[in-house]
Amino acid sequence: MGLKVLAVDDSKTMRDMVSFTLKGAGHNVLEAADGCEALQVLGGDRVDLVITDVNMPNMDGLTLCREIRANPTHRLTPILVLTTEADGDKKNEGRGAGATGWIVKPFNPEKLLQVVNKVCP
């Protein structure tokens, strides 16, 4: 019943928290430290949801969004972007890159699960 979620963040603390919360809610979590690694982890297998940070080395979250949207296998996967800004440019950039929604930091377990439910059937 649980979802298969890929959590992408360069901060291990953040990955741990996301992972911890999702696993606690019965989901399976894959992790990647940046966009490049995320694409490798995804490979040819679909996941139910990608949660990604924006600022990351090698490949940032917005580029990852675009890569996923351009990938025939993964293009319709829901993507949640972790932003620090409550509003404005970052969200619009996320939208422009094809993100499904966003999670505004600070990390809040309840909010995370709420948003996951919001975009995942």
Partner 1 sequence: MKLEVSGQTATVDLAPGLDIFVAEELLALFVEADNKGFDLNINAGGVEKASTACLQIIHSAAVSCIESDRTFQITDASDALVTSFKDLGLYSKITMRS
Partner 2 sequence: MSTNDFDLDQFKATYFEECAELLIDAETRLADLQHNPENVDAEDLNAIFRVVHSVKGGAGAFSFDQLVGFAHIYEALLDRMRQGQIQITEEIVSLLLTANDILTNLIQAAQDGISVPEEDFVDVKNKLNLLAFGEDDSSPVEDTETTATSDPDKGLKKYLISFIPKPELLQHANEPLLLVREMKGLGDLTTTVNTDRLPNIQKLVSDEAYFSWNFELVSECSLNDVEEVFEFVTEDCELEITIASPDDTSDQADTQEVSETSPPQTSAPEKSLETTKEQAVAAMQAPTIPSPPPPAAPGQAPAAAASPAAPRVSSIRVDLDRVDRLVNMVGELVITQAMLRQQVDNLPPELAAFMAKGFEDLGMHTREIQESVMAVRMQPVKSVFARIPRLVRELAAKLGKKVELETSGEHTEVDKTVIEQLSDPLIHMIRNSLDHGIEETPEDRIKVGKPELAIVNLSAEHRSGRIHIIVTDDGRGINRERVKSKAIEKGIISADEHLSDEAIDDLIFSPGFSTAEEVTDVSGRGVGMDVVRRNISNLGGRISVQSRPGKGTKFVMSLPLTLAVLDGMVVAVGKEKFIISLTSIIESLRPAKTELHKLSNGADVVSLRGEYIRLVRLHRLFNIPNAQKDPSKALVVVVEIEGGKQVGILVDELLGQQQVVIKSLEENYDPVDGISAATILGNGMVALILDVDGLDAMARQVNHRSDRNDLENENTDTTLLSENSKSLIQTADISEEKVDIPLSKETQNLEVMEQN
Residue ranges in contact with partner 2 by CB under 8 A: 11-13, 17, 20-21, 24-25, 69, 75-79, 86-87, 92, 95, 98-102, 104-111, 117-121
* Side chain identity at residue 69, one-letter code: R
Beta carbons of 48 and 30 less than 8 angstroms apart: no
Nearest approach in angstroms of CB 61 to partner 2 is 15
Q: Given the complex with partner 1, which of 59 and 79 has the nearer CB atom?
A: 79
Neighbours of 71 (CB within 10 A): 14
Is residue 4 within the footprint of partner 1 (CB under 8 A)? no
Nearest approach in angstroms of CB 121 to partner 1 is 6
**Residue 40's binding partner out of partner 2, partner 1, none, with CB under 5 to 8 Å set by partner kind:** none
Neighbours of 73 (CB within 10 A): 12
